[in-house]
Structure 1
Amino acid sequence: MPDLAAVNRMEAGAFVALLGGVFEHAAWVAEAVAPERPFASRAALHAAMMRALRSAPDAVQLTFLDGHPELAGSEARARALTADSESEQGSAGLDRMAEAEAAAFARLNAAYRARFGFPFIIAVRGRGRAEILSVFEARLGRDPAAERETALAEVAQITRMRLERLIDP
């Protein structure tokens, strides 16, 4: 695991290769912040990456959000998740559910996507399936603009944890 000083010294291509997967299927976020180096801390790097995401046009943000996998969805069943997503979903037990629970996730995934136009996004590490289902159901009734903001806040939590696993403080 490289430390921040090593990350700051990397050539742009190596920087993007290391950090391009932190934001799900969006290496452009790492590309956008590479010229801003050096970063004083992991938190400063993460803040720059979130600024890049938040300053992107609405259509780009929506495409980014839509690029996330559904929880316990078809990508998970097909074993087509990114390594990070597979680990995160597995940590919450989403890869080993009873049929009734899997059906509840499938129903909620479909309803959420129909309402908001992107998959439900939540930082699942440290949460159990029952808590995730409860939050899932509660967020379905929210205003679309507020829910989009919540999804971006969840992305911030997920990506902060991913950076913590990639870069030694």
Structure 2
Amino acid sequence: MKARLSLDSLNAMDLSAFVATLGETFEHAPWVAEAAWNGRPFESADALHAAMMEVVRRAPQATQIAFLCGHPELAGREAQTGSMTNDSKHEQASAGLGEMTGEELARMAHLNGLYRLRHGIPFIIAALHHTKAQIFDEIQRRIDRDTTDEFDEAMTQISHISSLRVRALLSAN
């Protein structure tokens, strides 16, 4: 578990320390923290998170798509090889995705493939808010949705995930 810090100490950090501290809050995207650094001082964890989300939302669409594609598939290759961030490992494990049967892994791989083929991005969900059964239901439900709607939903889910990560990092402010 990461050490919690105060908002004051975060606001006082130089760019490299700020990026080192917050760089993985948005999965494999330290550029988000780097761009948000100029918005210091942040008045609250919510203000920090909002600034970081604004960086993502203002990025060109190609950058946003690459950003979304940098997220791991649920119980996918990254989980099998251990290349996910510690936050993602914890979040997926909390939903029971670390303890799947061979049949469940095959089903998830199939659904992940269908989703990516349809929408061009990995299925993204705030796993901490769901059980394994709910995640299976959600991916199945969302496969046939409109891709524009799914892009928006992926960004909403990223907002939920990153908000939880920011709050976990900071002391109550």
Alpha-carbon shift at residue 153 of structure 1 (Å): 0.2
Residues of 1 paired with 2:109 and 2:16: CA distance? 38
Alpha-carbon distance in 1 for matches of 2:150, 2:60: 17
TM-score, scaled relative to structure 1: 0.98
Taking only aligned residues, the RMSD between alpha carbons, in angstroms, comes to: 0.7
Query: How many Å separate the matches in 1 of 2:37 and 2:86?
Result: 23
Corresponding position of 2:123: 120
Q: Distance in 2 between matches of 1:131 and 1:121?
A: 13
Pairwise CA distance, 1:81? 1.2
Deviation at 1:57, TM superposition (A): 0.1
Q: How many residues align?
A: 169
1-structure distance, mates of 2:133, 2:93: 14
- Which 5+ residue runs of structure 1 have no aligned equivalent? none
* Mapping 1:84-95, distance limit 5 Å: 84-95=87-98
Match runs of 1:18-167 below 5 Å: 18-167=21-170
Give the 4+ runs in structure 1 shifted more than 3 A: none
CA-CA distance at 1:126 after TM superposition: 3.3
Looking at structure 1, the residues matched to 93 and 23 of structure 2 have their Cα atoms a distance apart, in angstroms, of: 22
Tell me how far 1:106 sits from its aligned partner.
0.6
Cα pair 1:91 1:126 within 8 Å, conserved: no
CA–CA distance in structure 2, aligned partners of residues 71 and 18 of structure 1? 25
Which residue identity lines up with residue 45 of structure 1 in the other structure?
L
Q: Structure 2 length normalisation: TM-score?
A: 0.96
